[in-house]
Chain A
Amino acid sequence: MAEDTVITDPVTAAADRLKTLTKVMTTKAAIAQTPKELVWTLNKSKLYRYIPVLPKEKRHPIPLLLVFALMNRPYILDLRRGHSFVEYMLNQGYDLYLLDWGAPGPEDKNLRFDDYTLDYMPRAIRKLKAISGVKEFSLLGWCIGAILTTIYAALRGNEGLRNLILLTAPLDFSNKQDLTFARWTDERYFDVDKVLAAFGNMPGEMIDYGAKALKPVENYIGNYVKLWDNIDDPRMVDGWHAMNTWVTDNVPLAGGVFRQLIVDLYRHDKLMRGELVIRGERVDISRIHANLLTVIAEGDHITPSCQSEPVMSKVSSADKELFRVKGGHIGIMAGSGASKFTWPHIDDWLAPRSQ
C-alpha cells in the first residue's frame, strides 16, 4: 500500500504560517486548566484549593499556599496542561492552595502592603487551616509575592508557618548600581505622587512596559522572531501562545503598594534595614524562624541575585538553603527547564519538611 505523502507548496506553507501567527497573536490560549475550587474570597482576592489527585494517605499533611505577585496573573503557576507547577506538585501529593489577588479597582488605590499582609493573608490562611484541619502550613512567594510572604513571615510567622519558599525575591535594594528599576524610579526623575494622582493605581500597561524595556530588543522584537523561526513546531507554538496569553494579561498595582514599593523599598531599602513599619509594627527579618528555601534565577534581569541573597544571613532559620538555577525571572518556573530543575528541587526540599 502506498504511503500518503503530503506535498506542501510554498504558498500553502506561507498561508499556514500566517494563519498560525494570526491565531497566536489574536487569541488566548487555554491556560489554568487544573481543576480547583473557590474556598474563600475577600474584595478581589480569591483563595483556591486544587482538587487533590492522590488519596489522603499518600498526601503530605502540611498544605502549601502559593502567593504570586500583585501585578501579574497567578496562572503562570498553572500555565498549561503537561507543563504546570501546580499539576506537578499535586502529583507529588501536596495539598495545594493558590491566593489570587485579582485586579484592584479605583476603590483599592489606597491598599498597601499592610492590608495585604495583615488583613488578606492571615484571613486566607485561617481559611486554609480550617479546611485542611491543620495548624501548620508552607508558603511559597514569587517576586512581589515573596515580599508579601517575607513580611508576613516576619510579622505573623509564629502562627503556624513551617516552611517558607522565596522565588526570585526582591528584598534587598541597597545595590542601586545593579538595579535598573531603582535608577528609573529615582526621585530626581520619577514623581510617584504625580503618577498616582493621575492614575490612582499604577496601570498594568506601564508596569508591563517597565518590565519589557529592561531588555527592549529581546522583548519587543526577538520574542516574535523566535516565534516565526519555530512557527512549524506545534509544541513550541503552544508554549509561546500560553506565555503570550499570560504576558499580555496585565493587572494594575494598587497605588498604595506602588508608593511603598518605590519609596520604602527601591529608594530607602527599608525592609532589609529593618526600618519598614507595617501598621505600626516594625518588620524584623531576624524574626523569621521557618525553614527557608531561597531560589535565585542566575539570568534574572528583573530581580538580580544581589536582591535575594542577603536575606539568608538575616533570618534566624536554623534550616535554610540557597538554590541557584539557570534561567530568567519567569523562565525558572515556567520555562522548558523548570520541570527538570526547579520543580523537582522544590519538591525534594519541601517533601521531608511537610510530614
Chain B
Amino acid sequence: MAEEPIHDGKPFDPMEPWREVRDVYMNAWGKTMVDMVNTEAYAQATGAMLDTYLTVSAPFREVLEKAMLKTLEQLAMPSRADVVAIAERMTNIEMRLDDLDAKLDNIQRLIVQAGTASRPHAGRAPQPSGKKQTTKAKQAQRGKK
C-alpha cells in the first residue's frame, strides 16, 4: 500500500489550498464589514431599526404590564414595583448592617489594642523570686507565718 505523501513534515492535506483561499476571502470580507459598521449610514440604520422596534413594541408592553398588574391585584399578590421597592429597602438595610459591622470590627480592634497596652509586662520573663514578690505571693507567706 502506498504511503501518504509528506509535505514539510506534515501529511498532504487536499483541503489546505481551499482553506487558504477561504482565509484570504474572509480577511477581505472582515475588513469590508469593519469599514461598513464604522459608517454614519450603519449607525443611522441600526438606530432606526432599534427605534422602530421600541416604538412598535411599546403599546404591547404597556397593555401587557397593565393586564399583569390587574391580575396580580386580583390575586392579592405583590407587583414588580412592590418587589423592587422591597429589594431597594433591603439594600439600604444591608448598607446599614455593613456600617455596623465595620464599627464592631473597629471596636474589637481597639479593645484588643487597649488590652495589650494595659499588660505591658505580659511578654516579659518572670522576675527572680528573691527580689520582688507579687501581692499573691506575699499574702501566701503571711498565711504560713
Given the interface pairs A123-B98, A126-B102, the reply to whether A217 lies near B91 with Cβ below 8 Å is no
B94 proximity list for chain A (CB < 8 A): 41-43
A189: contacting residue among B34, B43, B61, B85, CB under 8 A: B43
* B41-86 interface with A by 8 A CB criterion: 42-44, 46-48, 50-51, 54, 57-58, 61, 80, 83-85
Contact with B along A187-228 (1 / 0, CB 8 A): 011110011001000000000000001111110011001000
B102 and A184 contact, CB distance less than 8 A: no
CB of A105 within 8 Å of the partner chain: yes
B87: contacting residue among A105, A183, A191, CB under 8 A: A105
Chain B residue with Cβ nearest A178:
B38
- Total contacting residues, chain B, CB less than 8 A: 34
Helix, strand, loop or mixed for chain A's interface? helix
B61 and A123 contact, CB distance less than 8 A: no
CB of B24 within 8 Å of the partner chain: no
CB of A317 within 8 Å of the partner chain: no
How close is B124's CB to chain A, nearest CB, in angstroms?
A: 25
Chain A residue with Cβ nearest B28:
A217
Interface size bracket, A side: 20 to 34
Contact with A along B1-35 (1 / 0, CB 8 A): 00000000000000000010010001001100110
B57 and A213 contact, CB distance less than 8 A: no
A217 and B87 contact, CB distance less than 8 A: no
A123 proximity list for chain B (CB < 8 A): 95, 98, 102
CB of A7 within 8 Å of the partner chain: no
B42 proximity list for chain A (CB < 8 A): 184
Chain A residue with Cβ nearest B15:
A229
B26 and A221 contact, CB distance less than 8 A: yes
Complex CA distance for A180 and B58, rounded to whole angstroms: 28
A280 proximity list for chain B (CB < 8 A): none
CB of A55 within 8 Å of the partner chain: no
How close is A277's CB to chain B, nearest CB, in angstroms?
A: 22
Given the interface pairs A43-B91, A119-B95, A184-B46, the reply to whether A215 lies near B34 with Cβ below 8 Å is yes
A43 proximity list for chain B (CB < 8 A): 91, 94
B58 and A189 contact, CB distance less than 8 A: no
Complex CA distance for A106 and B22, rounded to whole angstroms: 45
Complex CA distance for A229 and B26, rounded to whole angstroms: 14
How close is A100's CB to chain B, nearest CB, in angstroms?
A: 16
Complex CA distance for A198 and B61, rounded to whole angstroms: 8
Complex CA distance for A42 and B42, rounded to whole angstroms: 41
* A296-318 interface with B by 8 A CB criterion: 301
CB of A107 within 8 Å of the partner chain: yes
Which of A107, A126, A190 is most buried by chain B, counting CB atoms within 10 A of its CB?
A107
**7 residue pairs, one from A and one from B, having the closest CB atoms:** A189-B47, A107-B87, A217-B30, A107-B84, A43-B91, A183-B43, A216-B33
Name 4 extra pairs, CB < 8 A, besides A42-B95, A184-B46.
Answer: A123-B95, A188-B47, A198-B58, A215-B33
What are 10 of the A-B contact pairs (CB < 8 Å)? A40-B98, A183-B38, A186-B43, A189-B43, A190-B50, A191-B51, A194-B54, A215-B34, A216-B33, A225-B22
